Amino acid sequence: MIPTTGRIDPLLSEELVRGRIQELGRQITQDFEGKRPVVLGLMNGSFVFMADLVRALDLELEVTFMRVASYGGKTVTTGEVKILHDLDCTIQGRHVLIVEDIVDTGLTLHKVRNVLLDRQPASIRIVTLLDKPSRRRVEVPVDYVGFTIEDHFVVGFGLDMDGKYRNLPYVGIYSPESL
């Protein structure tokens, strides 16, 4: 795909990402053996990762989604996190696996985790496809990380730039045209 503005340079190939998701799936399957987790995707960015991950989990599980907004638009964080769409199920006494596309400042997961902890789940674990630890503003316990990356703005595999490029089958670094 050729972007109409800016440039996208491949960072993680489709094969690499899919292979890593299979590995994560095996590890999470082992760790949750005998449990019936609620797998909670944070919309919109996690939908591609989530679809591949749940199919790599050999567990009896339920799927649910929560929609939060943390970015005002383009590539700048507003620092504010709003819950736009809440869960359609109760998580009290359940083992919850939160599925995130990327952990950047950590503000989104920090807030979501606190909201969910108030609902008294049996446990909460977090899996993210990508992690940018150099940008962290609050600490969050991330249990499973697909790939740790440098401080780049990335798109593809569900991640967007102002709503675009979620359908790229790989992860690429987005650079605005002016660079």
Closer residue to ligand IMP in complex, CB, 29/77: 77
Contact with ligand IMP (CB under 6 A) among 48, 66, 159, 168: 159
Residue 106 backbone dihedrals phi, psi, to 5 degrees: 90, -5
Q: Which is nearer to ligand IMP, 28 or 126 (CB)?
A: 126
Confirm or reject binding of residue 153 to ligand IMP (CB under 6 A): yes
Q: Are 96 and 40 in contact (CB under 8 A)?
A: yes
Q: Which of residues 72-111 bind ligand IMP (CB under 6 A)?
A: 77, 100-108
Buried b (16+ CB within 10 A) or exposed e, 4-34: eebebeebbeeeebeebbeebbeebeeebee
Closer residue to ligand IMP, CB minimum distance, 96 or 112: 112
Work out whether 157 is an interface residue with ligand IMP (CB under 6 A): no
CA angle 151, 8, 137 (to 5 degrees): 20
Task: Name the minimum Å distance from CB 102 to ligand IMP.
Answer: 5
CB of 129 to ligand IMP, least distance (A): 10
**DSSP H stretches of helix in the chain:** 14-31, 47-55, 107-117
Q: Are 36 and 59 in contact (CB under 8 A)?
A: yes
Residue 27: CB minimum distance to ligand IMP, A: 22
The span from the CA of 54 to the CA of 41, in Å, is 10
**Position 105, amino acid:** T
Bond into 114 cis (ω within 30)? no
**Options 52, 101, 104, 131, the catalytic residue:** 104
Residue 31 annotated as catalytic:
no
Q: How far apart are CB 92 and ligand IMP at their closest, in Å?
A: 25
Per-residue binding letters, 33-72, with ligand IMP (x by CB under 6 A): ------------x------------------------xx-
For ligand IMP, the binding residues (CB under 6 A) are: 45, 70-71, 77, 100-108, 153-155, 159-160
Catalytic residue numbers, as ranges? 104
